[in-house]
Structure 1
């Protein structure tokens, strides 16, 4: 069913008439539309007239290459990403992305961006990340036979740092303000392919959100229709935008009448996309307060999330750590243990409690093993256990 990539070119999200060849990926934003204050991301355009609609009659399964006509060229080997379950919970469905190879949604992105590194002939990849992105990039680079450098912060969870090192990556803990200059130097002087952001507002890798489109395709097949609304944990909003683009493509192909409303769910301690949407700005930078949801806590937003929420008729929702903790406890009691950040979508839906004219999907992005403090608590040993101890 799958076939060669139908990707044609890159184009600016600031001005779609600004187009560029598919390669090399423009990882520092659009050179024509960006300014010193706002960096506009790029997206990938496809030859939709040649897409076989039969692509969407297949069952969802692992390896996103099943959707290869609507992805950039996949030159890196698969680790079995995608095909994650859709599970009922209360009155919504949970798309459980913790079932991916490195236990997070980032595997969909990294299959695509590491493929770009391979296709570009890069000697390695470099990423600035304190969590899921670094682990996933290291795994896919290892699978593709490329060295990886991961620039992380000293306060990232020790278990996650061990996780990244297990794949053979060079992991360097640096102060947050030093990560981006060092990343750019590695790119410029060593020729490594960057798979994370380098710009003043977030642009990231132009191919990255294309991997997340596959979640929209899977949901369409799993539900037999597009959902009415999607609530997604939102850091840089690549996930939110990628899913929204996938649903829009289903419209373009005549397979769906509409795209769902997209809800960005950010930590209340920051919320750059909520700020941009409230002020009408293309992107925003905010001050950041304390939060244990380190996976989505950030000062910098990007234009992708603004587009997805605004053009879908959705909303930005700010959630507290306690709201995410409640969602974490409740899902765990149903057999789904998620990272605190990964429950922002469920917390956002519960905060709004809207009625929608169709199914609602909350994306749960990552395993609870990735949280701060996991594995550090010691539990007492009962020297003379009795049945009463078990039953208490």
Structure 2
């Protein structure tokens, strides 16, 4: 199957269209202003979508959805088709930790790295302290492209190990230097950025969020319908936008008869999207405090998130570190181990609801517990092998009856 992608269009004014190539990674050159760099969306020839596209089950590898994705010029790693796990009372967890590099970012990078390959980029550059960098490095390696990753020296151990394993060039420079250096790598070395290079808003790669649409496709096929609501951890809002767009496409194509409300959950230490919606602005910048949710504590929002919430009738809310830790523990007690940021969607649902829903509710959990800041920093102390010590340890750990 071939891609039906036709053009890039401005999210500020969808009537403003640009050719599909090259990817406009610095925002729309027509509608962007000095205050806001507006991102691009991808349009498709929807009337040419094969009638049986959603009649078959999901499968590993985003090529399963090729007609509704930009051209997949880079090989994949079997991403997607992650499990939907039922908890109780109509609540489901979409477990994105089952992707090849243990996070949802594999979906974005399969598409964004493909765009780099198709447009002749000489390499990949990304700024990330976690999942995005690891996924970009993996898919660049798979495509045979060099990858430069600007990351924090305090990145979680699992992420640092990932980057080294994939052969990425890891660059740890002061934060203020990252954006200018990324632009020089793009302009002088011919690399393509798969993360945002704009200062006035998060624009990101225009093709990347298309990979997130496939979450919506899989959820709808697994449930046999669209859910009533979807709760997602939110940083810059690309995942939020992609999932909302996927459900809107399903309704447009007649696969489902509704679009779920999409709810963004941000750490209380940040909350840029929540602030943008509260003040009616396209983007907002907020001070960022310390948080266990390092993956989503973003100081600036993106316009994609505003659109996703408004167009689905959802909302953006914040949760505390304590609420995310409680959600993380709740999931672990069900055999599901996620980093704290990934539990934000469930934390938002538990803290804010709405708890009365006309249909199933899905919380997307984005990344494995291996990616948490504190993982692998502690070990168990040795203990005596006598029976009383063993018996005490086991009886004290028995679950409540």
TM class by shorter-chain length? over 0.9
Aligned length: 390
Q: Distance in 1 between matches of 2:379 and 2:220?
A: 44
SS in 1 for 2:52: helix
Q: Relative to structure 2, which stretch is displaced further, 131-140 or 152-161?
A: 152-161
Shift of 1:53: 2.7
Aligned to 1:205: 205
Aligned to 1:67: 65
Aligned to 1:10: 8
Q: Relative to structure 2, which stretch is displaced further, 144-153 or 371-380?
A: 371-380
- Can you list the C-alpha shifts for 1:350-392, whole angstroms capped at 9, x where unaligned? 0123211111000000000000121111211113332424424
Q: Distance in 2 between matches of 1:36 and 1:154?
A: 32
Residue 120 of structure 2 is aligned to residue 121 of structure 1 = yes
Gaps of 5+ in 1: none
Aligned to 1:366: 367
SS in 1 for 2:81: coil
Q: Relative to structure 2, which stretch is displaced further, 380-389 or 268-277?
A: 380-389
Q: Distance in 2 between matches of 1:163 and 1:204?
A: 22
Aligned to 1:341: 341
Provide the TM-score with structure 1 as the length reference.
0.98
Aligned to 2:158: 159
Q: Distance in 1 between matches of 2:133 and 2:29?
A: 27
Contact kept, 8 Å, 1:230 with 1:260, in 2: the verdict is yes
Contact kept, 8 Å, 1:327 with 1:347, in 2: the verdict is yes
Contact kept, 8 Å, 1:53 with 1:253, in 2: the verdict is no
Aligned to 1:278: 278
Contact kept, 8 Å, 1:95 with 1:361, in 2: the verdict is yes
Matches within 5 A, 1:1-392: 3-91=1-89, 92-199=91-198, 200-354=200-354, 355-386=356-387, 387-391=390-394, 392=396
Q: Distance in 1 between matches of 2:62 and 2:312?
A: 25
Provide the TM-score with structure 2 as the length reference.
0.96
Q: Distance in 1 between matches of 2:332 and 2:216?
A: 25
Q: Distance in 2 between matches of 1:86 and 1:38?
A: 37
Contact kept, 8 Å, 1:235 with 1:297, in 2: the verdict is yes
Q: Distance in 2 between matches of 1:177 and 1:149?
A: 17
Q: Distance in 1 between matches of 2:284 and 2:36?
A: 8
SS in 2 for 1:56: coil
Contact kept, 8 Å, 1:61 with 1:84, in 2: the verdict is no
Shift of 1:159: 2.9
Shift of 1:195: 0.3
Q: Distance in 2 between matches of 1:180 and 1:346?
A: 33
Shift of 1:158: 3.1
Shift of 1:90: 3.1
- Can you list the C-alpha shifts for 1:168-187, whole angstroms capped at 9, x where unaligned? 00011122221111111111
Q: Distance in 2 between matches of 1:359 and 1:279?
A: 31
Gaps of 5+ in 2: 397-401
Shift of 1:292: 1.3
Q: Distance in 1 between matches of 2:339 and 2:374?
A: 11
Shift of 1:283: 1.0
Q: Distance in 2 between matches of 1:165 and 1:39?
A: 33
RMSD: 1.0
Q: Distance in 2 between matches of 1:157 and 1:256?
A: 40
Q: Distance in 1 between matches of 2:88 and 2:321?
A: 20
Contact kept, 8 Å, 2:157 with 2:376, in 1: the verdict is no
Q: Distance in 1 between matches of 2:195 and 2:112?
A: 10
- Can you list the C-alpha shifts for 1:187-223, whole angstroms capped at 9, x where unaligned? 1110101000011201100001100000011111000
Q: Distance in 2 between matches of 1:6 and 1:37?
A: 33
Shift of 1:160: 1.3
